[in-house]
Homo-oligomer: A and B are copies of this chain.
Amino acid sequence: MFRSEGEFVGWLQQRLARPSRNVPVGIGDDAAVVRASASHDLILTADFSIESVHFSRRIHPARSVGHRALARSLSDIAAMGGKPRFALVSLALSNRLSRGWVEEFYAGLASLADRYGVAVIGGDTSVAAGAAADVTVLGEVCRGGALLRSGARPGDLIFVSGRLGLAELGFQLLKSRPLAGSQRLNRKNRAEAIRSHLYPEPQCALGQFLSRNRLASAAMDLSDGLALDLSRLARASAVGARIVEEQIPGPEMVPAEVARRLALSGGEDYQLLFTVPPAKAKRLPRAFRGVALQPIGLMTTTNKLTLVGLDGGEIPLEPAGYDHFKRK
C-alpha cells in the first residue's frame, strides 16, 4: 500500500490527467479548475467524511458532522478564490443510525449551505457498515482567477487568517484529554474552542476578495496544520519559507508553548494560508470582515522550511501534521 497520502496523490498525478487547455488545474491542489466559458472557470472538489476517520459519533453531534462534511469542500473552494454554487451529497448510512441522526446531519449541512448560497442538488444514498459522506462542491471563479498553491515566489509575504490551533484545542477538550494549561480555561474560552472544532467557518468571502483583487500569489486552506500545509504550498511553488514563531496567531487562552504546538500541527482550522507579493502587501487590510490577516514570515529561495523561535534562533520546521494514511 502507499506509505502516505502524499505518495498516493503523487502516484495519481502521474497516473491520471495532467493539466491541459481545458483543465488548468488537476489533481494535487485544493480543488480542480476547468474551463467553462470565456468569462468563467469552474472549480470542483470532493471531500470524504467517514465515521471513525473524520468523525466519531461519541464526540460529534450529527449536526456538526453535516456542517463539517460541507465545510471541508467549501474551504477548498475558498482556498481557490471561488464562489461555491452547488453541492452533491453522497451519504452511506449504517443500520445503527436513527432517522433523527440523518435529519440532524442534513440540518447542519443545509444551514451552512443556505448561509453560503449553495444549493444541494443531488448525490447518492447507500447503506454501509459505518456512516460515510462524500460531498462534492462546484464553484466558479473569473477565468484565470483561481488561487493556486504553486504561485508563491521568494520574497512573498506569508499570511494566515484567523487564529490557528483553536479547532485542535476544541477537539482535545471534546476528547476529555486536557492539554497542559487548558484546565484553566474558563467556560467562554472552552466554548469558543469547541465551537471552532464542531462548526468551522470556511473563508469563502476572504478567498474571493483575494482573487478578485489579485492580491495573493498562492493560497491554500489550513486543514492539516500550518507546518504540513505550508510545506505543501512551498513544495508546489518550488520555494522555501521562513516563519516567525512570535507572529503565529495561536490560541491566546493557553500557555505559549502549547499554543505554538496547536498552531503548527493542529488540523481543521479551515483558515487560509496565502502569500502576497511585497508590492501588494500594503493593499491588504489587517482584517477582513472581522477575521485578522496576520503576516507570519517570508517565502525564500531555499527549499527549506525554517522557524524563527522566540529566542531568535532558527530551527528546521518539520512538516508534521495529519495524514490519513499514517497510523495515529
A contact set with B: CB distance below 8 Å: 1-2, 5, 8-9, 12, 15-17, 20, 22-23, 26-27, 31-32, 34, 36-37, 42, 44-48, 50, 52-54, 85-86, 88, 90, 92-93, 95, 97-99, 102-103, 106, 110, 119-130, 132, 134, 136, 138, 324-325
In contact, A129 and B129 (Cβ under 8 angstroms): yes
- The one of B32, B97, B125, B129 in contact with A5, judged by C-beta atoms closer than 8 angstroms, is B125
In contact, A88 and B46 (Cβ under 8 angstroms): yes
In contact, A122 and B86 (Cβ under 8 angstroms): no
- Most chain-B Cβ atoms within 10 A of its Cβ — which of A9, A48, A125? A48
Complex CA distance for A155 and B37, rounded to whole angstroms: 40
Cβ of A5: which chain B residues have Cβ within 8 Å of it? 125
Which 4 pairs of residues, A with B, have the shortest CB-CB distance? A134-B134, A32-B121, A32-B122, A17-B119
In contact, A17 and B120 (Cβ under 8 angstroms): yes
In contact, A121 and B86 (Cβ under 8 angstroms): no
Cβ of A125: which chain B residues have Cβ within 8 Å of it? 5, 8-9, 12, 324-325
Q: How far is the CB of A326 from chain B (nearest CB, A)?
A: 9
Cβ of A121: which chain B residues have Cβ within 8 Å of it? 16-17, 23, 26-27, 32, 34, 44
In contact, B119 and A22 (Cβ under 8 angstroms): yes
Q: How far is the CB of A304 from chain B (nearest CB, A)?
A: 27
Q: How far is the CB of A180 from chain B (nearest CB, A)?
A: 30
| Nearest chain B residue, comparing its CB with the CB of A109 | B16
Cβ of A132: which chain B residues have Cβ within 8 Å of it? 50, 92, 128, 132
In contact, B120 and A48 (Cβ under 8 angstroms): no
Tell whether A119 pairs with B1 under 8 Å between CB atoms, given A46-B90, A324-B126. no
Tell whether A122 pairs with B44 under 8 Å between CB atoms, given A88-B136, A106-B15. yes
Tell whether A126 pairs with B54 under 8 Å between CB atoms, given A1-B99, A95-B1. yes
| Nearest chain B residue, comparing its CB with the CB of A3 | B99
